[in-house]
Amino acid sequence: MKRTALIVLSLISSAQIALASDISSVRKSELLNLLKHDCGSCHGLSLKGGLGPALTPDVLRQKPIEYITATILYGRSGTPMPPWRPFMSEGEANWLAQRIKEGVQ
């Protein structure tokens, strides 16, 4: 499990180089809408938590971007967090992870 996570992390770090500039502004607003409303159905509209944990910058301070990206893409087994890989690329998940970590308005 740990090794898989490590492989996943390294895959992501190599993939993320081709990043934010490749994501169109239309797609960015789609992703933010998804974050607010679909992630928000468990984590709260303002990401302050619901059945799922709060995702505020304060809570996530200790979590590396790669960890957050991997959680978005592959979910967390043993919890209700589902994988979002079918709906976004690794670069897009990485961009979203950065937005979450710095705090989204």
Question: Residue 59: which of 69, 44, 48 has the closest Cα?
Answer: 48
* Look-up of token digits 């607010």: 36
Residue type (1 letter), 19: L
Site for other proteins (CB under 8 A): how many residues? 20
Instruction: Report the alpha-carbon distance of residue 80 to residue 101 in Å, rounded.
Output: 21
* Minimum distance from residue 48 beta carbon to other proteins (Å): 7
Question: Residue 40: which of 61, 30, 29, 54 has the closest Cα?
Answer: 54
Does residue 42 interact with other proteins by CB under 8 A? yes
Q: For other proteins, which residue of 83, 98, 99, 104 counts as binding (CB under 8 A)?
A: 83
Q: For other proteins, which residue of 20, 22, 33, 64 counts as binding (CB under 8 A)?
A: 33
Q: For other proteins, which residue of 27, 28, 59, 87 counts as binding (CB under 8 A)?
A: 87
Does residue 29 interact with other proteins by CB under 8 A? no
